[in-house]
A and B are shown apart, each in its own frame.
Chain A
Amino acid sequence: MPHATNGRTATLHRRELVARMLAERGDMLVISGLGNPSWDLAAAGDNDLNFYDLGAMGSAAALGLGLALAQPSRRVLVITGDGELLMGIGTLATITGPRPKNLAIAVLDNEAYGETGLQPTHTAHGVDLAAIALASGFPIAQTARDEAEFTAALPLLRNAPGPVLVVLKIVAEKLKIVSPPRDAAYVKSRFRKALLGMP
């Protein structure tokens, strides 16, 4: 049975949210999960300090964890989808071992697998990702369903001592693919050059 907040009743649009999350990114390091979140990130503007995790479904949060541990003075933002996070849901437990304060996860939750034809994910049946994060020990985890809640969540994603997880309930919509560079070795070396001065 569909959940009350499913994609059909949501009002927030993913491309706009991602663009606004990154409008004042400063020196933030950004990881995106496979599929639409990576197209959204590319649409907001390719950047040397983006890494697009275009495969290995379920790995974006763990990738962000490793980066956050290596760069404790930089904000690390992981932007991923509900299906991608669900595939590696145990990582929320793993994150609360080291509990990096600089790690934030934004989940673009359209309650559907966007890349494969919008089949419903578990969140469409009521699985509450923010509640799982809270129960796993995240100090801050909440769900934004409208403009006011998104505006309130923005500073949490950017600055609040984490780990932070914000679920953004978005309209399930099929948008034009905006592809980032798909050569991961190039993107990795570019990222390291920009961050560390060496590829």
Chain B
Amino acid sequence: MIETRAAAAEKRAETIHEILRGNEVTIVAHVPDGGHAALIARCEHDPAMQTVVLTTEEEGVALAAGAWLGGLRAVLLIQSSGVGNIINALSLTDSGKFPLLMIVTMRGEWGEQMAWQVPMGRATRSVLEAMGVMVYEAERDEDVAEIMEAGASLAFGSGLAVAVLISQRILGTKKFD
């Protein structure tokens, strides 16, 4: 069966939302993002979840640490470009050994047509790893659920910073024509 891109995005959002619920994530910090749009909309309509729009991604790193101090679990939904904004904020996560779950939609890799996205897309994994974040990457839609489960388990079970990258190969490459 050939699914449309939108239907696939909706299904993926449903899957991730269920996994977040199953892992007792109740605070969803995010920046506006096309790749995360369906998931954000789902979380906004979930009375068990509180969504917080950030002005810049590093706020979400601190917000997640504060939520954990207060006994709640948060997720941070960002884009690969935003990984560049969170580097120093990860000092808080690492020094305090706070769990941190991030879902990162990728730009600047698979078939990218906007060269400006490429530098940060190319550096996303190495920047995260340099700051001690465990990185999982989903390149196929059918792997997303398993990788998300493993990422959430690693973050909240072992108290680690974890990023799950979702490739443009899954999301669809933005067209500029």
What does the 1/0 interface line of A64-96 toward B look like (CB < 8 Å)?
111111110000000000000000101101100
Let me know if A113 is at the binding interface, CB within 8 A: no
B69–A62 CB distance below 8 A:
no
Let me know if A192 is at the binding interface, CB within 8 A: yes
Would you give the shortest CB distance from B93 to chain A, in whole angstroms?
9
User: Which residues in window 109-133 of B have CB below 8 A to A?
Assistant: none
Instruction: State which of B67, B89, B98 has its C-beta within 8 Å of the C-beta of A70.
Output: B67
Would you give the shortest CB distance from A41 to chain B, in whole angstroms?
15
Q: How far is the CA of A62 from the CA of B56 in the complex (A)?
A: 11
**Stretch in A51-59, A115-123, A162-170 touching the partner:** A51-59
Residues of B within 8 A of A71 (CB): 70-71
Closest to A98 in B: B52
Let me know if A133 is at the binding interface, CB within 8 A: no
Q: How far is the CA of A91 from the CA of B66 in the complex (A)?
A: 14
A88–B58 CB distance below 8 A:
yes
A66–B64 CB distance below 8 A:
yes
Binding site of A, secondary structure by majority: helix, strand, loop or mixed? helix
Interface size range of chain B in the complex: 20 to 34
What does the 1/0 interface line of B52-66 toward A look like (CB < 8 Å)?
111110111111111
A69–B89 CB distance below 8 A:
no
Residues of A within 8 A of B96 (CB): 184-185, 187-188
Q: How far is the CA of A91 from the CA of B90 in the complex (A)?
A: 17
What does the 1/0 interface line of A160-199 toward B look like (CB < 8 Å)?
0000000000000000000000001101100110011000
Would you give the shortest CB distance from A31 to chain B, in whole angstroms?
7
Let me know if A26 is at the binding interface, CB within 8 A: no
Instruction: State which of B52, B59, B65, B90 has its C-beta within 8 Å of the C-beta of A88.
Output: B59
Q: How far is the CA of A94 from the CA of B54 in the complex (A)?
A: 5
Instruction: State which of B55, B58, B64, B95 has its C-beta within 8 Å of the C-beta of A184.
Output: B95
Let me know if A140 is at the binding interface, CB within 8 A: no
Residues of A within 8 A of B66 (CB): 31, 62-70
A62 touching B97 in the complex, CB below 8 Å, given contacts A55-B92, A57-B88, A94-B52: no
Instruction: State which of B55, B58, B59, B67 has its C-beta within 8 Å of the C-beta of A67.
Output: B67
Let me know if B91 is at the binding interface, CB within 8 A: yes
Q: How far is the CA of A88 from the CA of B95 in the complex (A)?
A: 19
Q: How far is the CA of A81 from the CA of B56 in the complex (A)?
A: 20
B70–A62 CB distance below 8 A:
no
B62–A93 CB distance below 8 A:
no
15 A-B residue contacts at CB 8 Å? A51-B69, A53-B62, A60-B62, A63-B63, A63-B65, A64-B66, A66-B27, A66-B65, A66-B74, A68-B66, A70-B72, A94-B53, A97-B53, A184-B96, A187-B96
Residues on A close to B: CB < 8 A?
29, 31, 51, 53-60, 62-71, 88, 90-91, 93-94, 97-98, 184-185, 187-188, 191-192, 195-196
